[in-house]
Amino acid sequence: MADFGTDLEVETFRTEARNWLEANFPQSLRGATGIANALMDGPAPTGDIQLWKERMGAKGWGTPTWPAQYGGGGLSAQQARVLQQEMSRIGAFNPLMAGMGVTMIGPTILDYGTEEQKQKHIPPIVRGDVRWCVGYSEPNAGSDLASLQMKCEDAGDHWVVNGQKIWTSGAQYSDWCGCLVRTDPTAKKHDGITFLLVDMHQPGIETRPIALIAGASPFCETFFTDARAESDAVLGKLNNGWTVGKRLLQHERASQTGAPSGGGARGTPLPDMAKAAVGVDADGRLSDLDLRTRLSRHQMDAKAHGLTLARAAAEARGSSSPSNAASVLKNSATVVAQTRAELTLEIMGYGGLGWGGEGFTQDQIDAVRGWLSGKAMSIYGGSVEIQNNIISKRILGLPDTTAST
């Protein structure tokens, strides 16, 4: 559907969205915190969270701009913005955005999949009926992903996969995995890779969760021993997986880099939280000058990040090539999110020590665990150092000081 432009059309859709949300978003979830992490880190949701997920999936609004022919919302970009505004207004959240099916695999299948692959995989993703994980990193292929060695061999009517992946988020709960595998070991390391869609429900796949300091962890070691993938499971072209894999990373960055600038509990902007905790001067300003300065800088960084995010989204329309802005956004999102977490704990004072225990509220515990888990943002999805090298070489055109001589 093309963007509609008149104020009347916008407000008509806004009324429709507001009425539907008021009727369908469960009252018990309004103002709740920590739900996104629970959806990512835990088993299938239950109760009102599951009900909300089913309603959003059936409406197609969990994937608002995806084609209606596959169950998506079929909304224009403008309608999707209005929907998000109305969800924010009542504290609603998208229960499907916590998984990799909507944020990474689904968009990549829409980009590169055959019609048969789209018909098979997209509707269940839209409804939230399946969970996906992504098999990229290996013990000896992390930020240097093209060094991956997981072997995939053609067995005639199917593929046979052997090897190990690591940091596979949500693998223990997933139904499917989008994997990068090596199908031509004789080719240059970027050229012999294929993107494969693998059913996780088979005896040849074992997952071992990895515990983290923040408590719950989505990460796993994942072992493939003569695992099977059907002959039509290749996404894109054989030995062209590096191109497909980079496109998925662009979608991943888009989902990771939309960091909000508020912080604190849902609906509580960080400056308001600081004023309540620290107090204000005679002019109504935050009384702690140093904290006020750092909050202002954080808000400016968050605003600049948001504007860059909007530019990257505009550049991505109609293009399947990663944009320069996507590389910048990974690092800027990390800075914004980690700085917000640090400021939140500082403002909370004693409450910022609440990893657990009865002496702390759930919001305090969630804030501390979020701060701890957020430390990983500097590493996953491409480390800060690797991203700086990419920005240096490919965007700024500076000499490559990392190449071997």
115: CB partners within 8 A, 6+ apart? none
CATH number of 257-395: 1.20.140.10
Domain with CATH 1.20.140.10 in the chain: 257-395
Closest by CA position to 32, among listed 47, 16, 15: 47
What is the radius of gyration, based on Cα positions, of the chain?
Answer: 22
Whether 380 has a pLDDT exceeding 90, the answer reads no
Helix (H, G, I), strand (E, B) or coil at 178: strand
pTM of the model: 0.77
- Which CATH architecture describes the domain 7-98? Orthogonal Bundle (1.10)
Residue % of the chain over a pLDDT of 90: 47
pLDDT (0 to 100) of residue 222: 97
pLDDT, mean of residues 161-179: 95
Domain with CATH 1.10.540 in the chain: 7-98
Q: Tokens 């019609």 identify what position?
A: 115
d(C-alpha 4, C-alpha 50), whole Å: 33
Per-residue pLDDT reduced to its tens digit, 249-288: 878 776 755 544 333 334 478 888 888 888 888 888 988 9
> Burial of 222 by CB count in 10 Å (0-12 exposed, 13-18 middle, 19+ buried)?
buried
Whether 309 has a pLDDT exceeding 80, the answer reads no
In Å, how far are 4, 134, 210, 220, 319 from 180, measured between CA atoms?
Answer: 39, 8, 21, 16, 22
- Which CATH architecture describes the domain 131-241? Beta Barrel (2.40)
- Mean pLDDT is highest, among 19-33, 133-147, 221-235, for 221-235
Closest by CA position to 96, among listed 77, 73, 78: 73
pLDDT (0 to 100) of residue 65: 92
pLDDT (0 to 100) of residue 256: 59
Per-residue pLDDT reduced to its tens digit, 18-48: 999 999 999 888 766 555 555 555 667 778 8
Whether 62 has a pLDDT exceeding 70, the answer reads yes
pLDDT, mean of residues 135-157: 92
Whether 211 has a pLDDT exceeding 50, the answer reads yes
Domain with CATH 2.40.110.10 in the chain: 131-241
